[in-house]
Amino acid sequence: MPEAVVTDGQKGVWFERILTAGLFVVVCLVTFIVYQGSIRNEFVWDDPIVLGQQLQAFHSVSDVFFPPPRIPQFGGLYYRPMILVSYMMDRAMWGDAPIAFHFPVVVMHMLNAGLVFLLGRRLFGARSGALLAALGAALLFATHPIHTESVCWMAGRSDNLATLFIIPSFLSYLHWKRDRGRWWWLALSAALFLGGCLSKETAAGFLLIVVAADLLGIGEPAVEAERLREKMRAPAKSVSAAPQGKAGARKGGKDARDGKNGKDDRRTGGKASRDAAVAAWTIPFVGWAALGVAFLAYWGLRQKGLSDYQEVLRPSSPDPSAQISNVLQAIGFYIGKIFVPVHLDAYIPNIPYPGPSLVIGALSIVLVAVLIRLALKHGERMGAFLTLFFFGGLAPSLAIAYFQISEAPVAERYLYIPSVGFCLLLGYLGFVALPEVLARRAPAEEAAVPPPGGDEGLVSAGRPRGAFSPIVAAVAIATLAVSGVYAAMTVRREQDWKADLAFWTDGVAKSPNEGLPHLHRGLALANLGRADEAEAEYQMAVDERVEYDAEGRSTALNNLGMLYMGKNELDKADGFFERAIRMRPEYSTPYYGIGVTAMRRGEAQGKAGLVPEATRNFEKAEAYFKHAIDLNPQYVKAHNQLGYLYANTGRTRPALEHLNRVLQLVSRGSDYAFAKDLKEQIQRRTGQH
C-alpha cells in the first residue's frame, strides 16, 4: 500500500492547532496563579443570604425557572436561572464549604481568559502579529484588577458565567458566517446566547455586538478577502498587466469564437453581483432573527418566572436631563476604571467625582464617534468593531444609572463583558495595527521585496519579521509589564475579599459617610463575638449624619435589638425592635425579636411560679411570631420558635404543623436540624406525626 503523504500545509495546520491549544493552557494557568488565593475566601456580603435563605427555596428545575413566591430578598428585576443551577451544582459536587463556591468561579474566569485568546485568534485571522495580539489581549483580561469583584465574590459570578456563554456564542456565530450552509452553528450560537441571558440580563448587549460585527463585515470571508486584495493591489496590478502569452491568446480566441467573452460573462457577473447583494442584505437578518428568537424565549421565561415578583422600573430622577447626566457620568466612571483600575470599591452608592465623570463621559462619546468615523474612512474596521464591542457590552449596565434598579448606580463587575472588547482592542492596536501603519510608511521598494519563492502580495499584507520586529518586541515587553502590574494589583485587591470583616473594613474606609458599610461591618463583628465593636458600627449606621435609607436604618436598629437580646437585656432589646417597627412596619424580623423576648420572659416567669404573667407573655410571643409569619410566610426561624412555643405549652398538633413547614422550606442548616430534632422529640413523647 502506498504510504500517506503529509503535506507541508497539513503540517502547518497541525502545528497551529497544537500551538493554539498550548497557549490556551498557558493563559488558563496564568489566570489560576493570579487568582488561586481567592479560592480560600470566606463568604462575604450577600453570600449567606443567597445560600442560607434564597437557595433553600428552590427544590426542583421548575422552581429554578419559575421561582416560588415570597423568597427572602429576592428581587423582581433579576431573573438568572443559570446562576441558581451553578449554585446547586457547586453544592451537589463539593458541599457547603466556601471553597465549593469559590473554586468554580476561578475556573470560569480561567476559561473566559482562554476564550478571549481563541476569539482574538478568530477575529485577527492570519494578519501579521495576530497570534501575539490574541495572547496579549488574553493576558490583560486574565490579570485586569477590575475583575476581582466578579471572581473573588461568590455571588458576583453572574458576569463571569454570562461571558462563558457569550464568547462561545460569538465564536459559533462567526463559524456560521464562514460557512452559512452549516446552520447548526447559528442554532448553537442562539442557544448559547439564551444561556448567557439566563445568567445575567446584561448579556443582551451581545445583540448590539453582533449587529456591529455584521454591519462592519467582521468575520465575512468576502470582506477579509477584499482587505487582502487592497493590501496586495500594487503587486496584483503588475501581475494582471503581464502578457498572457500564447496560451492566453489561444484561450481568448476560443472564448471569442464560443461567445464566452460576451453575453455569458455578463450573465455570470450579473448573477454573482446580485447574489452578493442579496447575501449582504439578507444573511445578517437571518442571524439577527435567530438571536432575536433566543432573546424572545428568554423574555417569555422571565415574564413568567417573575410573575410573583413584579417590580416597576422607576427613573433615577424625575428630570430626564438628570437621567441622561447620570448615564454620561456612569460612562465616564467606567472609562476611567477600565484604563486606570485604582481605588477599587465594591460598594459605590454615588458616582464619584460627578463633574469630571460627566465631562469624561460626554467627551468619550464624541471622541469614539470621531475615531470610528476615521477608522472606517481608512478601512480600519476591526478597531472600530472592538470599540463598539466595549460599548455594546456596557450598554445594558447603563440602564442601572438611568433607572432605580440597584442601590448602587455603577459597579466594577459590570465591566467584565465590556473588558473583552477593551483587551482585544489593546492587543490589536499594539501587535497588528501599529506595525501595519509603520509598514505602510516604509519605503515602497523595501515593502515590495518578495521572499525567496514567495508571493509578493503576502509580503505587502504585513509580516511578522523584518524591519519592524523591534516595535513588536517593545509592544510585547510593554504588554508583559502591564500584565505584571495588573497581576500584582489583583493579588493585593484579593486580600480585601478574604473575609467579611476585611471586606467591610475596606468599605468603611472608602465610604465612611455611608450607612451600609457600617451595618455590614457591625454584622461581621457580631458574628465573631465582638459585640461592643459591633454595637458601635450599628450606632453609626443609624446616626443622622450618615447617609442611609429607612430600610437600612431599621435593619441596624433590629440588629442592635438582637445584640441586647444576646446579652439578655430584654427591655433594651425591645426598645430597638419597636423603633425598627415604627420605621418600617412591614419588616418581619423585629416582630420575631419581640416574640423571642416575650417567650424568654414567659419561661423565666413560669419557672418562678408566676403563671398568669407567663401566660400573658406566651400569648404575646405567639401573636408576634404569627405576625412575622404573616409578613414573611417562609420565615423559618419564626416557624421554629412558634413550633417550640406550642410544644412547650402542650399544643402538639400546631407545633408539628410549623415544624413540618420548616422541613418543607429548608433541607439543611441549623434551622433544619432544630425542626427535625424537636419534631422527633414530640413524636417520641406523644406518638403523633
Question: Residue 232: which pLDDT band, with cuts at 50, 70 and 90?
Answer: very low
Alpha carbon distance 666, 55 (integer Å): 9
Cα separations (Å) of 100 from 38, 40, 56? 12, 9, 17
Contact 35, 151 (CB under 8 A): yes
461: cell is 499584507
Identify the weakest region by mean pLDDT among 64-73, 126-135, 171-180. 64-73
- Out of 516-525, 614-623, 638-647, 657-666, which region has the weakest mean confidence (pLDDT)? 657-666
Per-residue pLDDT of 649-678, as tens digits, reads 889 899 999 999 999 888 878 888 999 999
Q: What is the mean pLDDT of residues 326-346?
A: 94
Average pLDDT over residues 316-339: 91
Cα 430 to its chain centre, rounded Å, is 27
Q: For residue 513, name the pLDDT band (cuts at 50, 70, 90).
A: very high
**Mean pLDDT within 568-580:** 95
| Confidence check: pLDDT of 163 > 90 | yes
Q: Which pLDDT does position 8 carry in this prediction?
A: 56
**Residue, of 68 and 639, whose pLDDT is higher:** 639
pLDDT at res. 361 = 93
For position 456, what pLDDT does the model report? 35
Residues 6+ apart with CB under 8 A from 499: 41, 42, 44, 524
The proportion of the chain whose per-residue pLDDT surpasses 90, expressed as a percent, equals 60
Q: Distance between CA 422 and CA 164 in Å, rounded?
A: 17
* DSSP character string of 338-369: HHS--S--S--SS-SSHHHHHHHHHHHHHHHH
CB-based contact 209:389 (threshold 8 Å): yes
Mean pLDDT of 164-176: 96
pLDDT at 57: 80
How many whole angstroms separate alpha carbon 200 and alpha carbon 150?
Answer: 13
CB 427, CB 134: distance < 8 Å:
yes
Banded pLDDT at 100 (limits 50, 70, 90): very high
Backbone torsions φ then ψ of 125, nearest 5 degrees: 60, -135
Per-domain boundaries in the chain: 22-232+281-443+461-489, 548-686
Q: How far is CA 314 from CA 38, 72, 323, 399, in A?
A: 37, 22, 11, 11
The pLDDT, as a whole number, for residue 459 is 37
Three-state SS string over 538-587 comes to: HHHHHCCCCECCHHHHHHHHHHHHHHHHHCCCHHHHHHHHHHHHHHCCCC
Is residue 124 within 8 Å of 134, Cβ to Cβ?
yes
- In 3D space, the residue among 657, 659, 655, 652 whose CA is nearest the CA of residue 677 turns out to be 659
C-alpha closest to that of 283 among 222, 225, 327: 222
Residue 349 CB coordination number (10 Å)? 18
The number of helices, as runs of H, and strands, as runs of E, in the chain is 33, 0
**pLDDT for the residue numbered 443:** 57
Rounded to an integer, what distance in angstroms lies between the CA atom of residue 615 and that of residue 199?
52
- Average pLDDT value over all residues in the chain: 85
**pLDDT above 80: residue 75:** no
Interatomic CA distance for residues 525 and 119, integer angstroms: 45
Q: How far apart are CA 576 and CA 561, in angstroms?
A: 5
Asked whether residue 270 carries a pLDDT value surpassing 50, the answer given is no
Q: What is the mean pLDDT of residues 346-358?
A: 89
| pLDDT(1) > 50 | no
Give 288-319 pLDDT, tens digit per residue: 999 999 999 999 999 998 888 877 778 777 88
Task: State phi, psi for 678 to the nearest 5 degrees.
Answer: -65, -40
Q: How many whole angstroms separate alpha carbon 512 and alpha carbon 30?
A: 36
Contact 634, 618 (CB under 8 A): no
User: Which phi and psi angles does 514 have, rounded to 5°?
Assistant: -110, 140
pLDDT, position 102? 95
Mean pLDDT for 46-56 is: 84
Q: For the ranges 373-382, 434-443, 577-586, which has the lowest average pLDDT?
A: 434-443
In this predicted structure, which of 57-61, 165-169, 487-491 has the lowest mean pLDDT? 57-61
- Say if CB 157 and CB 150 are below 8 A apart: yes
Q: What is the pLDDT of residue 227?
A: 53
Residue 518's pLDDT is what? 95
Taking the C-alpha atoms of residue 76 and residue 388, their distance in angstroms, rounded to an integer, is 30
Mean pLDDT score, 628-634: 91
**Residue 620 CB burial class (10 angstroms; 0-12, 13-18, ≥19):** middle
* Most confident region among 61-70, 107-116, 231-240 by mean pLDDT: 107-116
Q: What is the CA radius of gyration of the chain?
A: 32
- Tell me: the pLDDT tens digits for 83-98? 999 999 999 888 889 9
Q: Decide if domain 548-686 falls under CATH 1.25.40.10.
A: yes
Q: Is the pLDDT assigned to residue 68 strictly greater than 90?
A: no
For the four alpha carbons of 310, 316, 318 and 324, in that order, the dihedral sign comes to negative
Contact 423, 239 (CB under 8 A): no
Q: Which of 219, 147, 178, 139 is nearest to 389 (CA)?
A: 219
pLDDT at 3: 53
SS (H, E, C) 158-226: HHHHHHHHHHHHHHHHHHHHHCCCCHHHHHHHHHHHHHHHCCCHHHHHHHHHHHHHHHHCCCCHHHHHH
Tell me the torsion sign for CA atoms 210, 212, 214, 220. Answer: negative
pLDDT band at 7 (very low <50, low <70, confident <90, very high): low
Confidence (pLDDT) at 378: 80
pLDDT at 462: 39
Residue 643 has pLDDT above 80, yes or no: yes
Q: Is the pLDDT higher at 468 or at 378?
A: 378
Confidence of residue 406 (pLDDT cuts 50, 70, 90): confident
